[in-house]
Amino acid sequence: MSDAKTTIEQALREAGLEWESPADGSYVVKLPGTRKLSTTVSLLVGRHSLSVNAFVVRCPDENHEAVHRWLLERNTRLYGVAYAIDPLGDVYLVGRLPLPAVTPEEIDRILGTVLEAADGSFNTLLEMGFASAIRKEYAWRTSRGESTRNLDAFARLTRGEN
């Protein structure tokens, strides 16, 4: 267990990531994103395994079946983690590694997978699960003459609405 903690701390330092350890064997890591501002990852060293948990997006407002199908199809291509939903319907990435598999390379690989799966899918998940809210937000902003710059990624949804 202490070998895993040392390895994790070394890997996080070497990667230059922002992180803290709120309790022994518990790590909260902030991964910077491009679509999603950041993704927070929880790493928890247990007696036999390391658990990985990261929030992706809240429960979709609409189109649940298509969102869940998309997540399940993506799970087949992920390494070490999988999309999951909690009792509220919020989407997470979860995984578990045996402690002997915890190496600096494996920590880097898992965190890279989490970042790509959370940040890389963020706009797609928003389009699928929050299209109506995005359209309403766009209409509200344009009616008030406010900037819609941070909605540019969703132009496909807002085109034609002025």
From first to last of the 162 residues of the chain, give the pLDDT tens digit.
679 999 999 999 999 999 999 999 999 999 999 998 899 999 999 999 999 999 999 999 999 999 999 999 999 999 999 999 999 999 999 999 999 999 999 999 999 999 999 999 999 999 999 989 889 988 898 889 888 787 787 888 887 544
Contact 151, 137 (CB under 8 A): yes
Give kind and range of the element (H or E) at residue 6. Answer: helix 2-15
The two three-digit tokens of residue 162, written as one number: 């002025």
What's the angle, vertex CA 102, arms to CA 48 and CA 2, rounded to 5?
65
Contact 99, 45 (CB under 8 A): yes
Rounded Cα distance between 12 and 111, Å, is 10
What interhelical angle do 2-15 and 104-119 show, nearest 10?
60
- In a 13 Å sphere around the CA of 9, the CA atoms on its Cβ side amount to 12
Phi, psi for residue 67 in degrees, rounded to 5: -65, -45
Rounded Cα distance between 10 and 103, Å, is 10
